């Protein structure tokens, strides 16, 4: 994992107070899904769920993630294709294969990985 500061997730406790914790992964980290056979590079992090209720409802209730955790935007890949994925922290693990990712957008957004972490490219001024 990179040394970049990760976003902080806030969730309400039963007493109504907020509990804060740091996201486990940061932009540029290579991760894999805990259950499904895909991996990817984190390119954005939402401290808590920030997608549509329809998207969440499309996940079977018995495996539906809770909303008060970080969610990660991934440049994802599996054996057949590349795509963008939105995944809860509870379903991600570090990818420790050391293999580079092949997503075509990686070259646009990141520099080559260093010690398994991709570094974002500097934004060009307008």
Question: Distance between CA atoms of 76 and 42, rounded to whole angstroms?
Answer: 9
Give the range of the structural domain holding residue 88, as residue numbers without chain letter. Answer: 8-120
Instruction: Provide the pLDDT confidence category of residue 14 given band limits of 50, 70 and 90.
Output: low
pLDDT of 1: 43
Q: Is the pLDDT of residue 6 over 60?
A: no
The reply to whether 1 falls in a domain is: no
Q: Is the pLDDT of residue 17 over 60?
A: no
Report the predicted TM-score, pTM, of the whole model to 2 decimal places.
0.81
Unique residue bearing structure tokens 């001024």: 125
Q: What is the pLDDT of residues 66-84, one digit of tens each?
A: 999 999 999 999 999 999 9
pLDDT of 73: 98
Look at residues 97, 103, 89 and name the one whose alpha carbon lies nearest to residue 40. Answer: 103
CATH of the domain at 114: 2.30.30.390
Q: Taking the chain, what is the end-to-end CA distance rounded to the nearest angstrom?
A: 31
């Amino acid at each position: 994992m990179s040394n970049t500061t990760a976003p902080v997730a806030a969730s309400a406790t039963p007493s109504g107070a907020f509990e804060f914790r740091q996201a486990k992964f940061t932009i540029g980290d290579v991760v894999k899904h805990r259950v499904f056979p895909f991996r990817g590079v984190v390119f954005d992090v939402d401290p808590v769920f920030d997608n549509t209720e329809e998207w969440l409802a499309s996940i079977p209730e018995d495996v539906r993630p809770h909303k008060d955790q970080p969610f990660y935007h991934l440049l994802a890949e599996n054996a057949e294709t590349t795509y963008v994925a939105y995944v809860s922290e509870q379903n991600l693990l570090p990818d420790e294969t050391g293999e580079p990712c092949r997503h075509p957008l990686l070259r646009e957004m990141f520099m080559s990985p260093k010690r398994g972490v991709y570094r974002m490219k500097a934004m060009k001024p307008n």
